[in-house]
Amino acid sequence: MHSPRNVPLLTYVRQILVARLALMATVIALTLATLAYLAEERMLEEAVVAEAQDDLAELVERTREIISHDGLSPLDAFRQAVGEKIASSVRKSRRGKVVYARFFKPGISGGEEYLDRTFVLHDAVRAHVHAGESPEPETGTWSETVYIADILSVHAILPIDELGRSDTGYAEIVFVPSPPVLAAMERKTLYTVGAVAFVALATAALLYPVILRLTNRLVAFSRNLQAANFETLALLGCAVAKRDSNTDEHNYRVTLYALRIAEAIGLDAAGMRALAKGAFLHDVGKIAITDSILLKPGKLTENEFEIMKTHVRHGLDVVARSTWLRDAKDVVGCHHEKFDGKGYPNGISGKDIPLTARIFTVADVFDALTSRRPYKNALSCAEALDILMRGRGKHFDPEIVNTFVAMAAPLHERYAHRSGRDLSAELIDVAWKYFHDGADTLVS
């Protein structure tokens, strides 16, 4: 079972769709060519049967003449007429020639058999005829197109009428088309393949620019829709941040820190989008927490802290209501988990904590430590990093801390004192490319 994969729409049109159109053109061409070849075989079969019927009519007429003139029995007269026909070879069809003939009566074994030994494959023809039981129809004509030693042949059984009721019989023949006839059939088949392929490919060529234009419009629409979603996401995250700290700068900084860490460890585009959404909305559940607890300047009581912890559950409720936001649930639901399992709400530990949540936790704590709040002063970058280092394996994933420590100083210098507008502009530049990449894809 194959898992779905994201395919850019333009790539789909320029590569996959073109390949499929070409494949369908080939399939259609081969199918119609096969049907055309079968039709040619059927036409040849009908022509051979009609010609054989004319020959048999001449044979019957000659038999009558012999009976009338020489007074021979019908059977002897028929044998003489057949001998004359074979000896004279008066009729030579441009379609080919009869290489085998047998005259018989239904229900009686044997019969008069004639084989053209000048034909190279006469032994194969005789072996084919004797290999199985040929049908002996009581009335009518039977015929089939067969390959004998890879040579197209017509095998037919025709009634011989009007020799007298007691002498009515059948003629079994094998007809081999001439090389020009076979060559003409092949040429017609190739012509059909070429014509159908040309029509199919020409149609695809006419449709391609139309499909490409429609796809470009669809991509533009998808990007505009994704941009609107991204703006709404940022607006919602900043609204929550302003209620909590009267500033949206924390949301911008922590998201930038998290994305920079994720880039350093090689997180894929889907993970980057999930991380950005989760970073913006990590505290969205705090809208359900009362101001007396949320904005309390001092330490929370045990009961108040239990209420504060419910913001995680409320946040999960919020993102679960949107299909587009559901991939933010790992950060929203797990950013207070600790690597040693002593966090909340579920007490999970180690690599059981989603990677995006482990990344965000480091970024969130670092920015909280280096930011000034009403109840505390900002720590220096070095002091904050020292706390992160001491928390490796306890609060934080050691690998992520190590990655961040190597890049934290220049990032802190870059982001710590910038305005919300500047941070917002850089965040859009950094994050939007991951949303942009996902705006024109489909699942195949």
Query: Model pTM?
Result: 0.56
Confidence (pLDDT) at 134: 63
Using CA atoms, how far residue 84 sits from 32, 59, 114, 116, 400, in Å, is 45, 9, 13, 15, 102
pLDDT for position 35: 85
Which segments in the chain show pLDDT lower than 50?
1-4, 90-91, 164-165, 442-444
CA distance 155 to 135: 11
CA count, 13 A, side-chain hemisphere, 343: 23
DSSP secondary structure code for residue 12 in this structure: I
Q: How confident is the model at residue 443, as a pLDDT?
A: 44
- Structural domains in the chain, CATH included, are 6-190 (no CATH), 247-443 (1.10.3210.10)
Residue 172, beta-bridge partner list = 102, 157
d(CA 132, CA 139): 21
Q: Position of tokens 């449709």?
A: 207
Task: Report helix, strand and coil shares of the chain as percent, to nearest 5.
Answer: 65, 10, 25
280 within 8 A of 233, measured Cβ to Cβ? yes
DSSP codes joined into one string, 168-225: -EEEEEEEEE-HHHHHHHHHHHHHHHHHHHHHHHHHHHHHHHHHHHHHHHHHHHHHHH
In order, the DSSP letters of 148-166 are ETTEEEEEEEEEE-SS-GG
What is the torsional sign of CA 68, 71, 77, 81? negative
Q: Give the tens place of pLDDT for each residue, 4-35.
A: 455 565 666 667 777 777 787 778 878 887 88
